[in-house]
Amino acid sequence: MAATDLRDKAGAIIAAALALPGVLVHAQTAPEHGEVALKYLQYEDSQPGLKRIKVSAPSLYVLAPLSSKWAMEGSLVSDSVSGATPRYHSAISGATPRMEDERHAGDVKITRYQDRATYSLGVSKSKEHDYDSTAVSFDASFSSEDNNRSWNIGIGHANDKISSSNDDALHERKRTTEFMVGVTQAVSSNDLVQLNFTLNQGRGYYSDPYKEPDIRPRKRDQSILLARWNHHFEGIGATLRSSYRYYHDTFGINAHTLGAEWVHPVGGRFTLTPSLRFYSQSAARFYYDPVYDPDVGAPYPPGYFTNPPEFISPDQRLSAFGGITVGLKAAVRLTPDWSADVKLERYEQRSDWRIGGQGSPGIDPFRATWLQLGVSRRF
């Protein structure tokens, strides 16, 4: 399962439904124009001396106003994944067969607009050879009479089916329910702030069937506090988007994310958006460092067979580390209805970049690159 880390992130259901990429307030009227957007994402990650995963993902997004009170939007994406992932920590055996997989996903959301309120219902579906996920979500927003404040609430539920190409007998499930509440406030004509709290309650199968040994609790509760601040500089017409995210889960992981984007118009048609993001997390309480039994050898820790722990995992994504992402997006409005954009991001992860304590030892640095191309048309 190449995308296990993405599936385990809390807030995915509601975040996808709310879709707030920097515009922090819901409009209270249906959009006047529709939009069709095509995107192509190319992803590749690596560790020293080894290229690991490659992903190619074309996607389609459509927004269609149905009336002055209703609108519908939806997306389709198809991921093609290839490469090799670590069997334990950052070790990949030359005998390990290359992984080839495809994921097909889609979602649709319908929104009802009323005076100072919106109500949205969404459904999403994702399928690959060893993972099948179905999710539903509902969210609502309510604005004050002066429209300077907006309250948002949301709930989502996902039902996942998990199998494994290594074990035909594996047929597991995972169910996740998310709750979100947030407030957005216009502090001034140039400042917009937002505070969201998300609670994610998951039950079911969280282990990785492609790693050995990997036994995780069948319960994972996650809490997320997200703060955003957008400030517009009138003199130069640019906007600073800043954010802080705190994450905690019952696996024992605590994480901090600081992010900033600078949206700068160039002329009347171009926009440049450089971005910087820093991430740091502690290790899960059942993660073990790459120190192996002197008699049995890797990947088993000392004493594993004489006194096996209840939960254990060598997954480097559960280790303690820090990561930095640097990005740049360029967008151009070709005509009043056509626009195009390109975005490049570079990520690097190291154990000793963790803040507030020492990172997990013995893990190779991890690097990843995202390249996204897009074109959209308004109608």
DSSP letters, 274-335, are EEEEEEEEPPPTTB--S--BTTTBTTPPTTTTTS--SSBB--GGGS-EEEEEEEEEEEEE-S
Q: State yes or no: pLDDT of 252 exceeds 50.
A: yes
Which residue, chain included where needed, has tokens 């975040």?
Answer: 15
Per-residue pLDDT at 30? 83
Question: What mean pLDDT is predicted for residues 113-127?
Answer: 96
Q: State yes or no: pLDDT of 353 exceeds 90.
A: yes
Question: What mean pLDDT is predicted for residues 352-373?
Answer: 94
Per-residue pLDDT at 259? 98
Phi, psi of 5 (to 5 degrees): -65, -35
pTM: 0.90
Q: State yes or no: pLDDT of 16 exceeds 70.
A: no
Domain 4-378 has CATH 2.60.40.10: no
Write the CB contacts of 79 (distance below 8 Å, at least 6 apart in sequence): 3, 55, 56, 57, 101, 102, 103, 104, 105, 128
Whole-number average pLDDT of the chain: 91
The domain spans of the chain are 4-378
Q: State yes or no: pLDDT of 60 exceeds 60.
A: yes
Per-residue pLDDT at 94? 58
